[in-house]
Amino acid sequence: MPTSAATANALTGLPIRYPTTLIDTRRLGGAQVLLLRPVLPQDESLMSAFLLAQSAGARRNRFHAAVNPSPRLCRQLSQVDYRHQLALVVCALDDGVEQLVAEARYCVVDEGRGAEFALMVDERWQGQGVGGWALRALQRAAARGGLAWLEGEVLQDNCAMLSLAQRCGFVCIPDPQDEGQVRVRRRLSAADASAAGAGEAYRSPGLWRRLGRALTDRPHSLRNTPLAH
C-alpha cells in the first residue's frame, strides 16, 4: 500500500497524535477481556508472535503470498505515523498481559480521498465477532478522518473475509485484472463517523499510565507525537 509524500502532506484531517480515542474494550463471556487500541512501536514482539502462530494459509490470505514474518516485517507493521496510516490491534488480556489476536489497518491513497485496508484475525479467535469489531472501528476512524471510502483486495477463496466484508456493508466486485481476487469497497458517511466508539478502557488510569510509559520509549520519529486526549 504505497503512498507518496504529496499524499501525506495533504492529509491534514487525519490523526497526527497517538489516537487514544480509538481505544475500546469488550468482554467475551466470563471474565475474558479484549482490548482494541492503536498499535505501538513496542508491539513488534506481539506482532511477531501473532503472525508466527498463524498457518501458512492464513498468512497467504492476509499478504496474498507466502510470507515469512521477519523482524523487519513486524517492525514495519508496528510503526505507523497516524497521518497517512492507521493500525489497530485487538489484544486478549490475561492478568494484565496482552496477546495479540487481530490487527486491522488502512493506508491512505488517491490523494487523501480514500484508503486501502487489511485485516487479520487469529484463527483460534475467528467466529467470535473480533473481526467485525476491528473492521467497524477502522471504518469509524477513517470516516472521522475525512476519508470517503475504504477498499481492499480479498482472495477469491477467502470466504470468511468476503462474508465479513459484506456484513460490514462492503460491496464485493470481481477484480477484472486478477480472477483470483475480489475487490471489496465501502463508501463512508457521517453515520460511520458518529457510530458508538470508545468504552471503559479509554477512561482507565492504568491504561493511560502504561501507554504513557510506552510512548516515552518510542522511536525518535514519534517522540513529538503526544497522546490525543
Cell 484475525 -> residue: 121
Greater confidence, 120 or 1?
120
For 93-108, the pLDDT digits (tens) are 877 788 999 999 999 9
CATH superfamily of 15-219: Gcn5-related N-acetyltransferase (GNAT) (3.40.630.30)
Q: Which whole-number Å values give the CA distances from 177 to 16, 107, 163, 173, 181, in the listed order?
A: 35, 21, 22, 12, 9
pLDDT at 112: 87
Strands (E), the chain: 24-27, 33-38, 85-94, 97-109, 114-121, 149-155, 171-174, 181-187
> pLDDT at residue 1 above 80?
no
Q: Which range, of 8-17, 115-124, 137-146, averages the lowest pLDDT?
A: 8-17
Q: Nearest Cα to 6, choosing from 79, 87, 104, 113?
A: 113
Strands (E), 20-144: 24-27, 33-38, 85-94, 97-109, 114-121
For 160-184, the pLDDT digits (tens) are 999 999 999 999 999 999 999 999 9
Band of pLDDT at residue 11, cut at 50, 70 and 90: very low
> pLDDT at residue 14 above 50?
no
**Domain locations in the chain as residue ranges:** 15-219
